[in-house]
A = this chain, B = another copy of it.
Amino acid sequence: MGAAIAMQCEVVAIGTELLLGQIVDTNSSWMGERLALAGIDSHFQTKVGDNLNRMVLALRTALARSDAVIVCGGLGPTQDDITREALAEVMNVALVRDDAIADRIREMFEARGREMAENNLRQADVPVGARVIEQVRGTAPGLICPVGQKVIYAVPGVPYEMTEMMERSIVPDLQARAGTAATIVSRTLRTWGLAESTLAERLAPRLEALDEQGEGASTIAFLASGIEGIKVRITVKQPDAESAKQMLNAEEAEVRALLGDLIFGADDETMEDSVGHLLRTGGLTLGLAESMTGGLVASRLTNAVGASEWFRGSVVSYASEVKFDLLGVPEGPVVSDEAARAMAEGARKMLGADIGLSVTGVAGPTEQDGQPAGTVFFGICMNGSTDATHLQLPGDRDRVRQFAAISLLDLLRRRLLERE
A residues contacting B by CB (< 8 A) are 18-26, 28-34, 36, 42-49, 51, 54, 57-58, 61, 65, 223-224, 285, 288, 290, 293-299, 301-303, 305, 307-308, 311-319, 321-322, 325-326, 350-352, 363, 365, 397-398, 401
Q: Given A24-B26, A28-B47, A45-B46, check contact A307 B316 (CB 8 Å).
A: no
Q: Are B305 and A295 in contact (CB under 8 A)?
A: no
Q: Are A313 and B315 in contact (CB under 8 A)?
A: yes
Q: Are A319 and B311 in contact (CB under 8 A)?
A: yes
Q: Given A294-B301, A299-B299, check contact A22 B33 (CB 8 Å).
A: yes
For A322, the chain B residues whose CB sits under 8 A away are 312-313, 351-352
Q: Are B36 and A31 in contact (CB under 8 A)?
A: no
Count the copies: 2
Roughly how many angstroms separate A58 CA and B58 CA in the complex, as a whole number? 12
Closest 5 CB pairs between A and B? A294-B302, A295-B298, A21-B33, A295-B295, A295-B299
Closest to A45 in B: B47
For A21, the chain B residues whose CB sits under 8 A away are 28-34, 36
- From residue A355, how far is it (CB to closest CB) to chain B in Å? 14
- From residue A273, how far is it (CB to closest CB) to chain B in Å? 14
Closest to A290 in B: B295
Q: List 28 A-B contacts (CB under 8 A).
A: A18-B32, A20-B32, A20-B33, A20-B36, A21-B33, A22-B33, A22-B223, A24-B26, A24-B29, A25-B29, A44-B47, A44-B58, A46-B46, A294-B299, A294-B301, A294-B307, A295-B297, A295-B301, A295-B302, A299-B299, A307-B318, A308-B319, A311-B318, A313-B317, A313-B319, A314-B315, A315-B316, A321-B352
- From residue A170, how far is it (CB to closest CB) to chain B in Å? 15
For A223, the chain B residues whose CB sits under 8 A away are 22
Roughly how many angstroms separate A302 CA and B363 CA in the complex, as a whole number? 10
For A398, the chain B residues whose CB sits under 8 A away are 303
Q: Are A397 and B296 in contact (CB under 8 A)?
A: no
Given contacts A19-B36, A295-B295, A295-B316, 15 further A-B contacts (CB under 8 A): A18-B45, A19-B45, A21-B34, A43-B48, A43-B49, A43-B51, A44-B47, A44-B48, A285-B319, A294-B299, A294-B307, A296-B299, A303-B398, A305-B365, A319-B352
For A311, the chain B residues whose CB sits under 8 A away are 294, 318-319
Roughly how many angstroms separate A146 CA and B31 CA in the complex, as a whole number? 35
Closest to A297 in B: B295
Roughly how many angstroms separate A45 CA and B18 CA in the complex, as a whole number? 9
Which of A23, A25, A288: most chain B CB closer than 10 A?
A25
- From residue A137, how far is it (CB to closest CB) to chain B in Å? 15
> Which one, B19, B33, B65, B315, contacts A43 given CB within 8 A?
B19
Q: Are B305 and A397 in contact (CB under 8 A)?
A: yes
- From residue A418, how far is it (CB to closest CB) to chain B in Å? 25
Roughly how many angstroms separate A290 CA and B311 CA in the complex, as a whole number? 13
Q: Are A19 and B48 in contact (CB under 8 A)?
A: no
Q: Are A57 and B65 in contact (CB under 8 A)?
A: yes
> Which one, B54, B299, B312, B397, contacts A319 given CB within 8 A?
B312
For A301, the chain B residues whose CB sits under 8 A away are 294-295
For A29, the chain B residues whose CB sits under 8 A away are 18, 21, 23-25
Q: Are A19 and B32 in contact (CB under 8 A)?
A: yes
Which of A47, A301, A311: most chain B CB closer than 10 A?
A47
For A297, the chain B residues whose CB sits under 8 A away are 295
